[in-house]
Amino acid sequence: MTEGLQPIRRALLSVSDKLGLVSFAQGLRELGVELFSTGGTYRVLQEAGLPVREVTELTGFPEILDGRVKTLHPHIHAAILACRDKPDHQATLARLSIVPIDLVVCNLYPFAAVRRRPGSSHEQIIENIDIGGPTLVRAAAKNYAFVAVITDPSQYAQVLEELRLHRGALTYQTRERLAASAFEHVAAYDRDIAEYFARLTDNEPFPRHLHLHFERHRLLRYGENPHQQAAFYIEPCFAGVSVATSQVLHGKELSFNNILDLDSALALVREFDQPAAVIIKHNNPCGAAVASELADAYQRAFQGDPQSAYGGVVGCNRAVDAATALCMLQTGQFIEAIIAPDFESEALEILTKRPKWGPNVRLLRAGKLQENGQRSAYDFRHVEGGLLMQTRDLTRDDLLTARVVSRRQPTESEWEDLRFAWTVVKHVKSNAIVLTKAGQLVGVGAGQMSRVDAVRLAVAKAGERALGAVLASDAFFPFRDNVDEAAKAGITAIVQPGGSVRDREVIQACDEHLIALVHTGIRHFRH
């Protein structure tokens, strides 16, 4: 026997997820493996006509307590945990007539699925806490030097292939890799249970112990820069509309920066009920617009800042049609990636056949954007040696509770633009200033250390379009100089949180310049 190979003569199968079970068991039988099983797994294999024996034949003890106790027995765990290279272990097995088990196939009760299923009762959730399964898995994984353990149906094909290659044996490296997956499987399972009980017993919004569970989705070519390594991890149970759950229809592999920008594009564009398009550059919107048709919305978003839009990431809240695709192909435009609920077939043909950038542009189908769909409840930010956690800024107030504090009231059209501006500014890095006009973003001042510099930058970007535009600020104006700069450019209305010790001076400046000023009482910093 080749060193490191361990023959598989006897297998114990006890699975909740029956996917691929019968074909895998059939493959084991063809290799001469003796099968033992429990409960529902036994019935499935027996109905498939496979020769399988019940675990009770090994234990000499029936399943009891509605199946709560069936594999918790020394004849099972000694058969798994015995070291094949220790004579005293082998003597004990012989004395007690225990036959070794070489392969354990086990995945656990669907606790997470039942917990997340609408209408599940506490009793149903508790009943799906597996006891025997984790014990089987841990025992087999601990003794991986002699025993193999499978916890995921996706592992069946590779294990069968290797068994056939090595005439019914598995390599040490494979057993070790399967053991690592098994311990991850049990650890994730226990984290779900611990989190459930923590929420039952702890009324605080943030847990005392934070256990994050993500699965590696793909390795990336590099991180923010070519000398940095990177990978994309996803939440296994997250089913909402997101970049992580989107289907990549076309284009080059997504980069680290693409994913960040696509996430920002989707977060902003889903805020609007009207057809909307946004263009993200370096995690900030440089273009955004709403219109009655998506093609018009995209065209106006691009016109907001054509220079910055080059090489940007586009988000749409409607399926991309042929008219919109043709707008995107105009001379001088280059798009890195597009995310939208869907792409019509003609639009796909247009976008993917464009010379030079057509073969490379990434197209992501996100699915239908639903305001009541699942959203991530928390934001996380890693700092060296620690982690910051906060609830996500999902507030969509539409200025319903805002107060007009100036003498002049905004006009109806100004109110529309103020709502639009207030929505966009939430997605701009602080200090953030945006100028909008007729449902179009015309100027952005992002990430400036001084708020008045952000105003000047937004005004410079807008140019003549600042005349008659409205301004939104993500936080209060600390001085009246912001208003004075806005007035020079022709801004007619401003929306900001208010709350500065100099609010009276700022209001007075607005009144002097006949600018309508709205206070929201809500800040939207985005550091």
pLDDT at residue 140 greater than cutoff 70: yes
Average pLDDT over every residue of 437-453: 95
Residue 393 lies in a domain: no
Do 163 and 266 reside in the same domain of the chain?
A: no
- Spatial CA neighbour of 318 closest among 354, 294, 350: 294
Pick 85 or 245 by higher pLDDT: 245
Please determine, for residue 14, whether its predicted confidence score (pLDDT) is greater than 50: yes
Tokens of 37: 């099983």
β pairing state of 335-340 and 312-316: parallel
Query: Mean pLDDT across the stretch 37-43?
Result: 85
Q: What is the pTM of this model?
A: 0.79
pLDDT digits (tens, 9 = 90+) for 208-257: 777 787 888 999 999 999 999 999 999 877 878 999 999 999 999 999 99
- Please, what is the average pLDDT of the chain? 89
How many other C-beta atoms can be found within 10 angstroms of the C-beta atom of residue 511? 16
The pLDDT, as a whole number, for residue 63 is 66
Q: Where a domain ends, among 314, 338, 365?
A: 365
| Residue 55 near residue 71, CB atoms below 8 Å | yes
Residue 509 lies in a domain: yes
Q: Which segment of 8-12, 407-411, 467-471 scores lowest on mean pLDDT?
A: 8-12
What's the whole-number mean pLDDT along residues 374-392?
87
Residue showing tokens 């609830």 = 391
Answer yes or no: is pLDDT of 2 > 50.
Answer: no
Span 483-504, average pLDDT: 95
Examine the domain organization and report whether 312 and 194 are in the same domain.
Answer: no
Distance CA 160, CA 84 (A): 23
Omega before 283 within 30 of 0, i.e. cis:
no
Whether residues 279 and 348 share a domain: the answer is yes
- What are the residues whose beta carbons fall under 8 Å from the beta carbon of 231, sequence distance 6 or more? 216, 217, 218, 219, 220
Whole-angstrom distance, CA of residue 236 vs CA of residue 65: 32
Q: Name the least confident of 6-15, 338-347, 431-440.
A: 6-15
Percent of the chain with pLDDT over 90: 58
Q: Considering 311, 336, 365, which residue would you say is the last residue of a domain?
A: 365
Across 42-68, average pLDDT:
77
Is 91 a member of any domain? Answer: yes
> What are the Cα distances from residue 366, in Å, to 154, 243, 248, 260, 449?
25, 7, 9, 15, 35
Residues 353, 263 within the same domain: yes
Determine, yes or no, domain membership for 228.
no
Neighbours of 181 (CB within 10 A): 17
User: Residue for token digits 């003794």?
Assistant: 143
Q: What is the pLDDT of residue 1?
A: 38
Q: How many percent of the chain have pLDDT more than 70?
A: 96
Q: Which are the catalytic amino acids?
A: 142, 282
- β-bridge mates for residue 316, sequence order: 277
Assess whether pLDDT exceeds 60 at residue 422: yes
How many domains does the chain contain in total?
Answer: 3
* Shared domain check, 318 and 417: no
227 found inside a domain: no
CA atoms 242, 245, 249, 251: torsion sign? positive
Do 360 and 412 belong to one domain?
Answer: no
Q: Which of 337, 365, 393 marks a domain boundary?
A: 365
Q: What is the pLDDT of residue 72?
A: 67
Which alpha helices (DSSP H) does 19-73 contain, by range?
A: 21-30, 39-47, 56-59
Q: Has residue 395 been placed in a domain?
A: no
- Tell me if 224 is assigned to some domain: no
Query: Can you point out the beta strands (E) in 341-490?
Result: 362-365, 378-383, 386-391, 403-404, 433-436, 441-445, 470-473
Residue 517, pLDDT > 60, answer yes
Q: What is the CATH number for 444?
A: 3.40.140.20
Are residue 156 and residue 19 in the same domain, yes or no? Answer: yes
- pLDDT for 406 equals 96
Range scoring the smallest mean pLDDT among 216-225, 292-301, 316-325, 373-382? 373-382
Domain range enclosing 460: 403-519
- pLDDT tens digits, 256-301: 999 999 999 999 999 999 999 999 999 999 999 999 999 999 999 9
Q: Is the peptide bond before 431 cis (omega within 30 degrees of 0)?
A: yes
Does residue 354 belong to any structural domain of this protein? yes
| Start-to-end CA span in the chain (Å) | 61
Q: What is the pLDDT of residue 501?
A: 93
In this structure, what is the dihedral angle of CA atoms 94, 98, 101, 105, given to the nearest 10 degrees? -170
Which amino acid is located at 63 in the chain? E
pLDDT of residue 125: 85
DSSP state of 53: E
